[in-house]
């Protein structure tokens, strides 16, 4: 993949990490950017999101879930994100709520091989990597208390604490693997401090 003409910012974090709140604050400073969520972002992707992620009680094999997410991701990246980054569609940049790093964290925690996740994800996204990842990090014990007080929960949110600990470990592993563009934000702080740390990092990378 050649260097992007426009920037790609990815937001990552485990369940209950405050990622959604942070995105709302960040978007105030990126109003000319296009925003998409994963899974989803396209009509096709939203159908897949409902099928694989909601709490409908249907048994879903972890590998099947990963491949479904990858299909949604491939459609979003190839029909929306890459055309924007290459200047073929409107938008100053792209803000993604999750990317294939989420599959690395979540599906590997369900015992899908990490090497397979990386290889398939590179194919699905044509090797597209972000300019910056903001990873909102919180101890799972605290995150689960936050999430259980929310009405909006998917099937992953309902999993045991040990699962969420594995997810966090996988995210922190990625932070070591990609130090050039991965920044960890401590969300045990106040909401204003979390936003301030986020904006400082965006400025550091020249995104605002």
Per-residue model confidence as pLDDT tens digits over 19-43: 999 999 999 999 999 999 999 999 9
Report the number of distinct structural domains present in the chain.
1
At 145 the pLDDT is 86
Task: Give the separation between CA 83 and CA 6, rounded to whole angstroms.
Answer: 10
Average pLDDT on 40-69 reads 91
Q: How confident is the model at residue 2 (pLDDT cuts 50, 70, 90)?
A: very low
Residue 17 inside a domain? The answer is yes
Residue 25 inside a domain? The answer is yes
pLDDT tens-digit map of 121-163 = 999 999 999 999 999 999 999 998 887 777 667 788 888 999 9
Residue 3 inside a domain? The answer is no
Which CATH number belongs to the domain containing residue 98 in this structure? 3.40.50.300
Residue 98 inside a domain? The answer is yes
The reported pTM is 0.94
Task: Give the separation between CA 65 and CA 51, rounded to whole angstroms.
Answer: 9
Residue 30 inside a domain? The answer is yes
pLDDT tens-digit map of 66-108 = 999 999 999 999 999 999 999 999 999 999 999 999 999 999 9
Task: Give the separation between CA 132 and CA 183, rounded to whole angstroms.
Answer: 8
Task: Give the separation between CA 169 and CA 208, rounded to whole angstroms.
Answer: 30
At 3 the pLDDT is 63
At 130 the pLDDT is 98
Task: Give the separation between CA 95 and CA 22, rounded to whole angstroms.
Answer: 12
Residue 171 inside a domain? The answer is yes
Q: How confident is the model at residue 53 (pLDDT cuts 50, 70, 90)?
A: confident
At 151 the pLDDT is 66
Residue 139 inside a domain? The answer is yes
Range of the domain at 46: 8-204
- 65-76 core/surface letters (b: 16 or more CB in 10 A; e: else): bbbbbbbbbbbb
At 54 the pLDDT is 76
At 1 the pLDDT is 44
Task: List the Cα angle 88/94/38 in 5-degree steps.
Answer: 115
Does 118 have pLDDT greater than 80?
Answer: yes
Residue 2 inside a domain? The answer is no
């Amino acid at each position: 993949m050649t260097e992007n003409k426009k920037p790609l910012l990815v937001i990552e974090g485990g369940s209950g990490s405050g990622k959604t709140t942070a995105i709302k604050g960040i978007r105030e400073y990126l109003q000319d950017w296009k925003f998409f969520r994963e899974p989803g972002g396209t009509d096709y992707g939203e159908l897949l999101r409902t099928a694989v992620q909601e709490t409908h009680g249907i048994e879903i094999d972890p590998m099947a879930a990963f491949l479904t997410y990858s299909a949604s991701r491939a459609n979003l990246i190839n029909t929306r994100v890459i055309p924007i980054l290459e200047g073929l569609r409107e938008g100053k940049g792209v803000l993604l709520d999750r990317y294939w790093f989420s599959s690395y964290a979540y599906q590997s925690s369900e015992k899908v091989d990490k090497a397979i996740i990386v290889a398939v994800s590179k194919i699905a996204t044509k090797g597209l990597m972000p300019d910056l990842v903001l990873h909102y990090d919180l101890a799972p014990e605290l995150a689960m208390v936050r999430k259980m007080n929310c009405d909006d929960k998917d099937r992953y949110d309902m999993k045991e604490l040990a699962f969420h600990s594995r997810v966090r470990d996988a995210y922190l592993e990625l932070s070591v693997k990609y130090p050039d563009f991965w920044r960890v934000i401590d969300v045990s702080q106040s909401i204003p401090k979390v936003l301030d740390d986020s904006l400082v990092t965006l400025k550091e990378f020249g995104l605002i």
